[in-house]
Homo-oligomer: A and B are copies of this chain.
Amino acid sequence: MHPREFPSDHGEAIRVLSSTTSTVDLEEIRRDCGYSAILDFHLPVGLSVEDLQTLNSTVRDMLPLDRGHTLFRQGESFGALYVVRAGSLKTFVEGSEGDLQILGFHLPGDIMGIGGLTNEHYPCSAQALERSSIFELRYNQLQEVSASVPALHHQLLRVISGALVTEQRHSVMMGKQQAQRRLAFFIRRMADRYARLSRDPQVLALPMSRGDIANYLGLALETVSRLFTKMESDGLLAVNRKSVDILRRDLLDEMCGGEIDI
């Protein structure tokens, strides 16, 4: 019942694609999550069949999670990382007075649970926004494999570091940008993530509620609603409930200002 934290979404990749033609079901993962899956990890030369087997054994398919159901809960002991295969989730911390704060939204390919590495406990909860499929990466098995596969170790560091960088950008945005720019950044980032998943980046089907978006961006629900309306009347978007069409990407980018890589 205490606030900790957790990974935000970030576009980092661990491409688990052996250059050899091995029959790993990691291939299957890659298909599902699209090109930029977290598990998208370029295995280097010299990976034994045995290593591949072990690596394979670390990935466990889980039963689908229904909307509103919890993958792991803040405070639970850490045991595994998770990768979204299909659907979407949100991670959040709960304050002492029951108030909750959303840390990030997770689309296929995104990794979750990184924050648990520090102190043996998940610092946040993860909940499905819709019916979702998830992979589990048992951490001790992952450790085992990465001991024999240096590249995996390095890639793990890269992914976490990437999450850190993403989170820092988010901090900066929360501290400096005003409401409409925050929403613009949010929409643009969702579009970019859609693109990496080979979805149409101009037609977003946002799986989260207005309240979730507002909470994530540190705004009031009403402000977000008003901004959607405004951006629609500005001809920037076509909004219909969860569906958001980006009509003028140029104006959206302009609204985000010079900062290209946020």
Contacts and interface: CB of A to CB of B under 8 A. Distances in A.
A125 to B, nearest CB: 13
B158 A118 contact: yes
Interface stretch (A147-155, A184-192, A205-213): A147-155
Nearest to A4: B165
Contact of A3 (B4, B117, B156, B169): B169
A96 interface: yes
Given A143-B150, A171-B171, A218-B176, A161 B114 contact: yes
Contact of A174 (B115, B166, B175): B175
Question: Which of A124, A146, A157, A158 gathers the greatest number of chain B CB atoms within 10 Å?
Answer: A157
A70 B115 CA distance: 30
Given A164-B7, A165-B118, A170 B171 contact: yes
A260 B175 CA distance: 22
A137 to B, nearest CB: 13
A57 interface: no
A8 interface: yes
A262 interface: yes
Contacts of A124: 168
Contacts of A174: 171, 174-175, 218
A103 interface: yes
Nearest to A159: B118
A161 B112 CA distance: 12
A63 B172 CA distance: 31
Dominant secondary structure at the A interface? helix
Contact of A101 (B117, B153, B167, B172): B172
A26 interface: no
A119 B162 CA distance: 8
14 contacts: A4-B261, A5-B166, A8-B168, A95-B259, A119-B162, A123-B165, A153-B153, A160-B160, A160-B164, A163-B164, A164-B167, A167-B171, A174-B218, A175-B217
Given A117-B161, A167-B168, A167-B171, 8 more contacts: A6-B168, A93-B172, A103-B171, A117-B158, A123-B165, A147-B150, A157-B160, A160-B164
Q: Which 7 A-B pairs have the closest CB atoms?
A: A175-B218, A5-B168, A96-B258, A117-B161, A174-B174, A118-B162, A167-B167
